[in-house]
Amino acid sequence: MSLENTSVNKNFGGWTKHYAHRSTTLNCDMRFAIYLPPQTAKGQKVPVIYWLSGLTCTDENFMQKAGAQRMASELGIAIVAPDTSPRGTDVADDDGYDLGQGAGFYINATQAPWNRHYRMYDYVLNELPQLIEATFPVSNKRSVFGHSMGGYGALVLALRNPERFQSVSAFSPIGNPVNCPWGQKAFNAYLGKDSATWADYDASLLMRNAVGAVPALVDQGEADDFLEEQLRPETLEAAAKASGYPLQLNRREGYDHSYYFIASFVEDHLRFHARHLNA
C-alpha cells in the first residue's frame, strides 16, 4: 500500500509524522498521524497505542494539543491517531457537526448512502493496524484510547475484541449512545431504525454482558457541558458493577470537555497503558 508522508516534526527525540493513503475499507483517501519514539531509530520495535478523536476532529488535534509525545518518548511507545471519518467530495455528509464527515462514530454503517464509505470500525480494527505494523518498527502489542466519540469508540473496540488489545482508556466517553441524542442520531442514520442492531456499538451494554475483559480507565470532568445529556458515565459504572468488569472511573472536579482536560491527565493514561503493554 502506497503511503504519502505529508509532514515530519522532531520532538522529544522522536518524530511526529502525518501520512495519507488510499483505504480499501473506506473506499477513499485517508490520513493518520504517528508518533515514533526515539527507541525506534535504533531498530527497536515498540508497542502502539491508537488514539481515537471526537466529533469534528481530525488526525491533527491530539498530536498538536494533548502534549503526549514527551511521555511516549520516555515510555518507548508509538501513538497512532487516525482521522475521525472518511472524507472527500464523493463521501456522504450532513449539515450537522454530529453526523457525516468528522463524525464517523467508529462503526460500520449498513444504510445508504453511508455504507459506501463509513466503515471506521473495520478500518481502525483491521486495515490501519495491518498498515502500521507492516510499515513502521512497532510490535503487535496494542492498546486503544480516545475522547468523547473516540472514547466510546475505543471502549467498543476493546469490549468486542479483548484479544486484540492490552488495555483501553477514555476521556469523557459517550457511555450509553443508544440513550443519548448524539448516539440516536448517528445510529438511526448509519444503522437504521431497528434499534436492536445498535447494541453492538454501545459501551455500557457491551460491558454489562462482557465475557472477556481488558483493564479499562475512564476520566470524566464534572464541569463537562455534555455530562448529563450525552455522556452518562453512570451507565458505565453500573455496567461494570453488574458484570465485575475491571473499570476504574475517575470523576475530575472542575474539568470540562476540552483538550485542557486531556492534557492534564494524558500522562496518567499513557502510564496506565505502558504497564499493560510491557507486562
Among all residues, which ones are annotated catalytic?
Answer: 148, 224, 257
- In sign, the C-alpha dihedral spanning 70, 71, 75, 76 is negative
- In sign, the C-alpha dihedral spanning 158, 255, 177, 187 is negative
Q: What HEC string does 224-241 produce?
A: CCCHHHHHCHHHHHHHHH
Parallel, antiparallel or unpaired: strands 78-82 and 28-36: antiparallel
- Give the number of other CB atoms < 10 A from CB of residue 182: 21
**Element (H or E) spanning 185, and its range?**
helix 181-191
Dihedral pair phi/psi, residue 171, rounded to 5°: -105, 125
